[in-house]
Amino acid sequence: MAGYKEYSSALEGWMNYHRMQALEVEPNWLFDKVYSKSYTAASKFGRENVYAFIKHYEKPPDVAVFAQFSSECYKYSMKIFKGGLVGLGAHLTAYPMMAVNVINNELAEFIRTYCSKHFASAEFPGVLDLSTNDLYFYPATPAWGAFYYSGYRQTFYELFS
């Protein structure tokens, strides 16, 4: 079982390996760290812009706090996004990840059903249980996301495991 400090330190190297650049932001109520990268992706019909947000909670928050965290990270990524119009040559994916010392059943069940829908962009949140190193995220594929959702799951796992 690694603590958040150790995980955060290792994550820095892992994000560099995946060519994710740390953004210069002050840690705040919403997130501790933000990483991003942009690249051309034929499957997204233009530029893919990826943002990864990390926030640590010692105790798991209630599901409303998690939903707000995910939604606000997505909104923040739309705010800082530079690179054309989303949907017209650009796609945006936000990966809000909350690390908790030990997850509870309520949050684990909620994350398995939380799936938001956005135009030409995606919000794919998850939770890392630091006591087991297990990642929790939406495991299904909505009909409207059949082309992309397996890639979102794979990327989330690669970035945060």
Domain residues for the domain of 39 are: 4-160
**What is the per-residue pLDDT across 97-136, written as a single tens digit (0 to 9) for each?**
999 999 999 999 999 888 777 666 778 899 999 999 999 9
Q: Round to whole Å and give the CA distance between 30 and 66.
A: 10
Q: What is the pLDDT of residue 1?
A: 47
DSSP label at residue 58: S
Cα–Cα distances in angstroms (integers) from residue 116 to residues 111, 121, 144, in the given order: 11, 10, 11
Average pLDDT over residues 57-68: 93
Tokens 């909350």 belong to which residue?
Answer: 98
pLDDT over 80 at 155, yes or no: yes
Indicate if the pLDDT at residue 138 is higher than 80. Answer: no
Task: Count the domains in the chain.
Answer: 1
Question: Quick check: helix, strand or coil at residue 76?
Answer: helix
